[in-house]
Every structure is written in C-alpha cells, then in structure tokens.
Chains A and B, each alone.
Chain A
Amino acid sequence: MSQATAVSRPQGHLLKSAGVRFGVIYAALFGISAAALAAFLWWSTAGLLERQTVAAIDSDSEALIGQFLQGGPKAVMVAIKDRVAGNINDDALYLLVDPGFQVMEGNLNAWPPRMPVDEDWGKLKLDRAGVPTLMQVHYFELPGGFHMLVGRDIAVRSRLGLMMEGALLWAAAIAVILGSVGAWAVRGLFRATISDVSATAMAISAGDLSRRVRVQGQDDEFDLLAETINDMLERISRLMDGVRQVSNAIAHDLRTPITRARTRLEDAYQHATGEAELRAAVERAMADLDGIVGVFQALLRISEIEAGARRSAFAPLELAPVLTDLVELYDAAAEEAGMTLDASIADTLPAFGDRDMIQQAVANLLDNAIKFSPTGGVITVAAGIEGSTLRIVVADQGAGIPEPDRLRATERFFRGEAARSTPGSGLGLALVQAVAHLHGGEIELSDAGPGLRACLLMPIKPQDGLRSRASDSLRIGRD
C-alpha cells in the first residue's frame, strides 16, 4: 500500500482493505462449504449407523410389545429367550422385569440402577464378559407394572464416531489452514490485479500521462476494465494535448496575424502619405483582425463541441435533403472555380445528431475540396449507409495530404506543406473530427490518387453514454 493510503487510513486499515475483505469472504465461504461437507459425511456414516441401531431396536421392541399385549409376560419371556439364544454376535440386550424390578428374563442380570422407569432412550455402560462396552437402550413401561429394556451394542459405532470426530477435527484444522492460505492468495491475486491499475493511476496523478494499464490479453472482465480505463486516459491525454496545443497555437499561430495587423497599422501611421492610403491600411488591418476573430470563433466552436455539451440537442434527422442543399450551395462555387462537383447522395439517410454541426462539418470538407482542387478537377461527394454506419465521402483531385501528415491533419492549427500557401487557419479538419467524435464516429483520411478522400463515418443509431472501444481513436484508412 502506498503512503497516501497509509496516511489516510491510520486505523482499521486491515478490514478496510478490499483485498483482505475478499480474502476473509473467501475463507468464510471455504469454511462454510467444508463444514457442510463434514456434516454430510457425518450424517451419512456415523449418523447412518445410529439410525440403523435405533431402527433395529424399534422394530425389535415393537414385536416384543406386540407379543406382550397378546400373550402377556410369558410370551415375551419366550421370545426374549429365543432372541438371546439366536443372537450370535452377542450385540443385543434384552431384559424384562416384574413390577418389583425382579428379573424375569433377559441377558442382563439386574435392572440398571438410576434408570428411568417410564419409556425413554438411554446409553448404558456395561462390562460384558470382562469387556467394557456401550449399549444404546430403550426402556418401556408395560401394562401391569412390567418394565422392558431393549438394547444394542454401540461400542463399534461409538469408536467409529470418535474416529470420525478426530478425522473431522483434523480436517477442520486443514480447512482453516487452506482457507487462510486461499484467502491470502485471493488477496494477493486481487492486489496484483488492481496494483497495475492503481500504479497507473498514481503515475498519472503524479504527472506521467503516458502510463497505461496493462492488458493481459485474456479478454476477461479485468481486461475490459483495463481497456476502458485506457480509453479514458487516452481521451484525457488527448484533451490535455488539445489544451496545450491551443495555448501554443494562441502563443504562436495567432501571433503572426496579430503582428501583421499591427505592422500594417504602424506602417500606415508612420509612412502613409494620404488619407486614401491610411484608409486602405486600416481596412486591411480590420480584415486581419476579422481573421483572428474567425480563428477564435472556430477554436471556441471546437472546444464547445469537444466538451460534448451540444449532445443534448441531438435528435433524429434525415440527412439526405441536408446534404443535397449543401451540395447545391457549393456546386455553384465549384463551377465558378472551374471544377465539377459530382454528388451521389442516397435517397434517405436517417441519422441521429445535431443538424447544424453535421452541416458545418460537411461544409468544411467541401470548403477544403474547393480550396485544394486544381482547375478542371472533379470533386466527388457520396453519402450512403453501410450497415449501421452513415458514410459521407468528399474526395478532391488536389495535392492530397502525404501519408505521414495525415495523422496530424486533424490537429488544431496543423497545416500541411501544400496548405501553407493557401489562406486558412488549419482548424477545418479539427472541427470535422470534433463533430465526428461527438457523434460517436470518426473521420478517415486517405489517398484519392491524386487528392484527398475525407470520409466522415457516423453511427446512425443514438449512442449510449459509453463510447465503443475504437470509436474515439482516429483511424487512417489505407485504401
């Protein structure tokens, strides 16, 4: 256990440890099952013998009482004599006494002292032929003041019982040892399983964001937990990276346009020779500032989307007319720029999400396609449903993005070689990705040979709060 836990739990730490608790629970379960097993063993061996003895005495005495009721004491005396003579094992005991407790018949020479007079069960220690033995006996009070005693030798049985007792005691001792060892092992196993999680969590809280929980590869519950935690960490670290990137970007990328605006103003202030020149400079500076505001707006929008707050505005929607409208809006612009916009949009595209955002994402893709297509190029837009996934593809015939850059193309402010000479903030694809992630989907960038193929994938069904394992990671297609 770590120092932190030791400090926060100065007392009762042993029972507060979940590992110990699991161990104790294991030991208790083990003890209960061992006890149940022993009880069953007892019941089915020693208990069985006892029940047999009792049954034998019962049936024996029932027959004798029957004879007493039919033939009186005489008949019983005859019967007892017969039985004693026929009892080769000498394990049976019979005694009939008269109301004065004088022996009338039986293989016991006197009514045992301190024996109950009315009907009862009892145990009797005897010396028979010099051998001490133990009998199980049943006393009866018969009509007319006669008393009868029927018994069986249970010395063997009691010896077996003692043996069993001993064995069970040993077994109990072994069970305690095994239980403790097992409990210890369970606690150890438990600790080992979560130690990696807690070690990772500690490393993360200490600032090492690259640590991940080890996945054993057994695809069990612990692996699922580990993967869920890793997914969460992945997302947290991506968000952290995002924050860091944004602050870097504000520090560096926004400095450029701000510098430009400031330079223009200062230059005009010092060198402008007439009002017209001054006005022109102010106008350009205003345009620069508008650009900066646009960047802020886009950043704000992205973080707003990434925060997931807009998910409450999600609704079922039909995207086919939405996309058709967008294509129509951009078709004219493409034609004006000497390009062809080739669209094939399925008749019906049910989806679940935020219409404005999907519009903006697709508009960004179309903006990009028009920006980077050469004159005479063809821009293809295709939208359809594959299984449970909505697929919106926008492909151009421009320079594309070289493979190494594709992973980074959706980062904020990332601008590829080809994009540096064109106007733009480097936020377009970042926004598309944010929208895709918000909808539980992703964006795939691939080579359209030549050009870039951007593919927006989104599930058409509402997603529950949990993201599927892979949905949040950016995948780069290789088709």
Chain B
Amino acid sequence: MRILVVEDDKDVASFVVKGLREAGHVVEHSGNGRDGLFMAASENFDAIVLDRMLPGGVDGLRLLETLRAQNNHTPVLFLSAMAQVDDRVKGLKAGGDDYMTKPFAFAELLARVEALTRRGKSDQPATRLVTADLEMDLLSRTVRRAGQKIDLQPREFRLLEFLLRHSGQVVTRTMLLEGVWDYHFDPQTNVIDVHVSRLRQKVDKPFPSPLIHTVRNAGYMLRQEEV
C-alpha cells in the first residue's frame, strides 16, 4: 500500500516511516503542511497519516479540509498530541477517518492504518463474511464453522463480525472497544481479553486449529493458521 506520512517531528516521522516500510508498505513523507497537501492532492495514496500541528502555513485540519473539498476521499488517520475530546471531534468532523493521540504504540498505529485501507475497499455491504472454514451470514445472523452452527450472544456476534471484517489484520483492544462497544475510554480491567477468550471458547476450542490469534503487544488477529 502507498501511505503518505505528514509529520514535522523528525524522530516520530522516521519511526513511523521505518515501521510502515518494515510492514511492507510504500511510504512517502512530508515535513510540512504545504508539501503534504501538494503530495496528497497530486498522487494516489491508500492512506494518509496526518499530524495536526504542522509548519508551513497549512495545518492538518486545513490540509484535510482542502483535500476533501477537492473530492479526494483518501482515508486519513490523524496522529496528534491534541488529546481533548473536542479536538478529536473536530478532527473527525473535518473528514478524518480515525484519530490517534500521541504518544502512541506503533502496533496500534499500524493496525489502524491497515484497518483504514481495508475499510476503503470493502464498503459495499457484504452479506457473508468468510475466513477459512468460518462463515458468518449477516442476514440470518448465523455463524457456522466447518458446517457446524455456533450459537453466539449478540455482543459475541458483533465481536466476531468485527474480527471477520478485519480478517488478516491486527485488531487492537482499543479498536475493539471503539468498534464493538462504541466506548472511548480505557477500562483498567482486561474486559476485552475476557470477551475475546469467551468467543474463543465457542469459535476455536471445539475445532482442531484456532482462528483467533493473540498478537503480542498489539491485540488480536483472525486468520487461518499457515501450515
């Protein structure tokens, strides 16, 4: 994937660029808003990681608003030190697709960037989600694995749906909390882990190979085990 990183802090930028390249992406970097806007508008990217406070007269919000005004719908992830609820709301209102506050863990950033690009592709409503031998029918709200019906609670269903939609990608606990529960705070208790482990009991335990994997220091991933 081609990703544009607009970030003026050299250390943060090189860390992000390096990390994204290591993850197999093609990364362009711009250190100020003006150049960033130019690059974003003239080239095709799959995603943009955008700082809010930028030198060069064009800050992140302006950059994004200009971009959206040009009918450019490249997914944008804000990466900002402005952490107040209002800042977040402003960023999303301006057309941002996701908002992360600094400091951040790279795993979280990577997971969210990849989730963004996926979202862009699969926006057409799917009625069936399939990974390996696990299939979910969104219309009849049934889940089968290897042809065998699995009974899930409504919340477990949504959790699995989220994992299936991001199949093959890392999904962090915060993403689950926001995407499945719509909560925007950090619980101190490992509530997410418990719910995932319950889901595993139903989806993985009765079957020979697990599909829900724990990714260390990051979160979870639903994928078929490579043999």
* Interface of A toward B, CB cutoff 8 Å: 283, 289-290, 293-294, 297, 300-301, 304, 309-310, 325, 328-330, 332-333, 335-336, 356, 359-360, 363-364, 366-367, 370-371, 423-424, 428
Contact: B187 with A367, CB < 8 Å?
yes
A367 vs B195: C-alpha distance when bound (angstroms): 15
Contact: B191 with A294, CB < 8 Å?
no
Selected from A309, A333, A423, the residue in CB contact (under 8 A) with B86 is A309
A310-B85, A359-B183, A367-B188 known; A332-B103 Cβ under 8 A: no
A329 vs B197: C-alpha distance when bound (angstroms): 13
Closest B residue to A424 by beta carbon equals: B188
Contact: B185 with A332, CB < 8 Å?
no
A328 vs B191: C-alpha distance when bound (angstroms): 10
- Could you tell me the distance in whole angstroms from the C-beta of B184 to the nearest C-beta in chain A? 6
A332 vs B200: C-alpha distance when bound (angstroms): 13
CB neighbours of B191 from chain A (8 A): 329-330, 332-333
Selected from B84, B188, B195, B217, the residue in CB contact (under 8 A) with A329 is B195
A328 vs B197: C-alpha distance when bound (angstroms): 15
Q: Can you name 15 A-B pairs with beta carbons within 8 Å?
A: A290-B105, A294-B186, A297-B101, A301-B85, A325-B181, A330-B189, A332-B195, A333-B190, A335-B194, A356-B184, A360-B185, A363-B183, A367-B188, A370-B189, A371-B188
- Could you tell me the distance in whole angstroms from the C-beta of A205 to the nearest C-beta in chain B? 31
B83 CB-CB contact with A under 8 Å: yes
Task: Tell me if A's interface is mostly helix, strand, loop or mixed.
Answer: helix
A364 vs B185: C-alpha distance when bound (angstroms): 10
B90 CB-CB contact with A under 8 Å: no
Which B residues from 175 to 211 make CB contacts under 8 A with A? Answer: 181, 183-191, 194-195, 197-198
CB neighbours of A294 from chain B (8 A): 186
A293-B103, A329-B191 known; A356-B185 Cβ under 8 A: yes
CB neighbours of A336 from chain B (8 A): 194, 197
B155 CB-CB contact with A under 8 Å: yes
Task: Tell me if B's interface is mostly helix, strand, loop or mixed.
Answer: loop
CB neighbours of A370 from chain B (8 A): 189
A300-B83, A367-B189 known; A333-B181 Cβ under 8 A: no
Closest A residue to B177 by beta carbon equals: A329
A289 vs B183: C-alpha distance when bound (angstroms): 23
Known contacts A330-B191, A366-B189, then 19 further A-B pairs from the complex at CB < 8 Å, ordered by chain A residue: A290-B105, A297-B101, A297-B186, A304-B85, A325-B181, A330-B187, A332-B198, A335-B194, A356-B85, A356-B183, A359-B183, A359-B185, A363-B187, A364-B188, A367-B188, A367-B189, A423-B188, A424-B188, A428-B188
- Could you tell me the distance in whole angstroms from the C-beta of B104 to the nearest C-beta in chain A? 9
- Could you tell me the distance in whole angstroms from the C-beta of A83 to the nearest C-beta in chain B? 101
Contact: B194 with A333, CB < 8 Å?
yes
- Could you tell me the distance in whole angstroms from the C-beta of A365 to the nearest C-beta in chain B? 11
Contact: B194 with A297, CB < 8 Å?
no
- Could you tell me the distance in whole angstroms from the C-beta of A292 to the nearest C-beta in chain B? 10
A192 vs B123: C-alpha distance when bound (angstroms): 73
Which B residues from 69 to 105 make CB contacts under 8 A with A? Answer: 83-86, 101, 103, 105
A335 vs B194: C-alpha distance when bound (angstroms): 9
A1 vs B108: C-alpha distance when bound (angstroms): 64
CB neighbours of B103 from chain A (8 A): 289-290, 293
Closest B residue to A296 by beta carbon equals: B83
A333 vs B198: C-alpha distance when bound (angstroms): 10
CB neighbours of B155 from chain A (8 A): 328
CB neighbours of B85 from chain A (8 A): 301, 304, 310, 356
A329 vs B198: C-alpha distance when bound (angstroms): 12
Closest A residue to B104 by beta carbon equals: A293
Give the top 4 A-B pairs by smallest Cβ distance, nearest first: A332-B194, A360-B185, A367-B188, A333-B194
CB neighbours of A366 from chain B (8 A): 189
A336 vs B189: C-alpha distance when bound (angstroms): 11
A290 vs B85: C-alpha distance when bound (angstroms): 19
A329 vs B84: C-alpha distance when bound (angstroms): 25
CB neighbours of A310 from chain B (8 A): 85-86
- Could you tell me the distance in whole angstroms from the C-beta of A204 to the nearest C-beta in chain B? 30
A370 vs B191: C-alpha distance when bound (angstroms): 11
Of A297, A301, A328, A332, chain B has the most CB atoms within 10 Å of the CB of A332
CB neighbours of B86 from chain A (8 A): 309-310
CB neighbours of A371 from chain B (8 A): 188-189
CB neighbours of B217 from chain A (8 A): 283
CB neighbours of A423 from chain B (8 A): 188
Contact bitstring B104-118, A, C-beta under 8 A = 1, else 0:
010000000000000
A196 vs B185: C-alpha distance when bound (angstroms): 47
Closest B residue to A361 by beta carbon equals: B185
CB neighbours of B190 from chain A (8 A): 333
- Could you tell me the distance in whole angstroms from the C-beta of B6 to the nearest C-beta in chain A? 23
A309-B86, A336-B194 known; A329-B181 Cβ under 8 A: yes
- Could you tell me the distance in whole angstroms from the C-beta of B163 to the nearest C-beta in chain A? 16
Of B155, B184, B187, chain A has the most CB atoms within 10 Å of the CB of B187
A367 vs B194: C-alpha distance when bound (angstroms): 14
CB neighbours of B186 from chain A (8 A): 294, 297
CB neighbours of B195 from chain A (8 A): 329, 332
A10 vs B193: C-alpha distance when bound (angstroms): 73
A304 vs B155: C-alpha distance when bound (angstroms): 31
Closest A residue to B180 by beta carbon equals: A329
- Could you tell me the distance in whole angstroms from the C-beta of B162 to the nearest C-beta in chain A? 15
Contact: B188 with A297, CB < 8 Å?
no
A333 vs B193: C-alpha distance when bound (angstroms): 8
A184 vs B46: C-alpha distance when bound (angstroms): 82
Contact bitstring B21-60, A, C-beta under 8 A = 1, else 0:
0000000000000000000000000000000000000000
Contact: B83 with A297, CB < 8 Å?
yes
CB neighbours of A301 from chain B (8 A): 85
Closest B residue to A369 by beta carbon equals: B189
